[in-house]
Amino acid sequence: MSVDRTGTDLGAGRSILTEVPSTQQILGIRFFVGSTIEIVDFFLRTGGVLVVPAAPALVKLRHEDERYRRALTEADFAIADSGLMVLLWKLRGGKNVRRISGLKYLKCLVEDPDLRIFLNALLVLPSEVAKQKTLAWSRNENLPLDPDDCYVAPHYGAAAEDTGLLRKLESRRPAHVIIAIGNGPQEMLGVFLRNNLSYRPAIHCIGAALGFLTGDQITIPDWADRLYLGWFFRLVAQPSIFIPRLSRALELPWLIWKYGEKLPPMRGRV
């Protein structure tokens, strides 16, 4: 992909994109085609909602309610976390879609000294334990994160709408909202926030990726992430959770072959 750049600095020689990056629609979702740094540069400039659907989340398009389907299809960008989806799409004859795992994307945000997103971010976390581990990790990494920068999400219902979080964001107006509560609620929450806030932050729906760094989830080595083996580490750590989840992903080859770019219909509908 060829994309022109301006000379506008993000710091230390970085620049931002001047054109909308290319996307490829797969199962009704717009997946970003380019590199990690290209999506980071562009997304931090425009804001909106970015989602990272893995293979089981894509299969849920057939089984969840319309709110979840709308959240994925109405997101501003998606990145291709699923190595299985990338391989299947290539075999089907579609454009080459580069795999960008949620972990790789988050590391690009966190480790780049020019971005320093935690200077102006609010993190939405699944539990108090996750909050304490995130704060301990941030201290070890010398990252500027305070307890007030962390929000422990309640147990969301079907709609995943949180007016308390909405008020907190309006009061603080952070440039970044990092939602790390898992596929389903996080995408619906991200779209709800984008549609109701009076300003447009970058809302990163990155699921378990933050937990891989903080210790709230099993650590995944860089080599395993590059070789598409993150799922194996999670399977070994939590087999009772991930065996059913991975078994659902077996439906993905059929969905890709049958529907291609189109959003598949809900199960049971014509």
Q: How far is CA 56 from CA 61, 66, 183, 194, 232, in A?
A: 9, 17, 9, 25, 14
Q: What pLDDT, on a 0 to 100 scale, did the predictor assign at position 9?
A: 35
Q: What pLDDT, on a 0 to 100 scale, did the predictor assign at position 38?
A: 87
Q: What pLDDT, on a 0 to 100 scale, did the predictor assign at position 110?
A: 83
**DSSP class of 191:** H
Q: What pLDDT, on a 0 to 100 scale, did the predictor assign at position 233?
A: 59
- Per-residue pLDDT reduced to its tens digit, 109-164: 887 776 678 788 999 999 999 999 999 988 888 888 899 999 999 988 778 889 99
Q: How far is CA 196 from CA 142, 166, 249, in A?
A: 33, 8, 33
Give me the residues of the chain with pLDDT under 70, please.
Answer: 1-20, 64, 94, 114-115, 215-221, 223-225, 227-247, 268-270
Q: What pLDDT, on a 0 to 100 scale, did the predictor assign at position 4?
A: 32
Count Cα neighbours of 170 within 13 Å in the Cβ-side half-sphere: 11
